[in-house]
């Protein structure tokens, strides 16, 4: 069972994964203390995915020119619309 510590304003931009609940809670407490207010929360990974589903975006494949749909949180190196993807 994994746990996710995330920023409440933008959950998918700043998230960290932990193996234990204690580690995740310590991280959230420390991050909230540094932020000066409660902006980080802890959820189990499956609950996080249900509450904050990843959106999809349409990009144009650089090699074929076809439109494809990929998750919004796809890393830049795994995005077929970038030259980096095709040169690796």
Is 47 found in the same domain as 12? yes
Residue span of the structural domain in which 32 resides? 3-51
Rounded distance, CA 21 to CA 35, Å? 21
Is 25 found in the same domain as 46? yes
Is 63 found in the same domain as 46? no
Is 38 found in the same domain as 68? no
The model's pTM is 0.70
Is 7 found in the same domain as 45? yes
Which pLDDT value is given to residue 54? 87
Rounded distance, CA 73 to CA 28, Å? 22
Instruction: Determine which of 8-17, 32-41, 60-69 has the lowest per-residue pLDDT on average.
Output: 8-17
Domain count, the chain: 2
């Amino acid at each position: 069972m994994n746990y996710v510590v995330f920023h409440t304003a933008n959950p998918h931009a700043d998230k960290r994964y932990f193996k234990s609940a204690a580690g995740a809670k310590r991280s959230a407490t420390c991050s909230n203390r540094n932020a000066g207010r409660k902006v980080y929360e802890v959820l189990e990974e499956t609950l996080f995915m249900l509450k904050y589903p990843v959106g999809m975006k349409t990009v144009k494949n650089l090699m074929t020119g076809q439109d494809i749909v990929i998750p919004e949180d796809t890393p830049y190196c795994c995005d077929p619309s970038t030259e980096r993807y095709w040169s690796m």
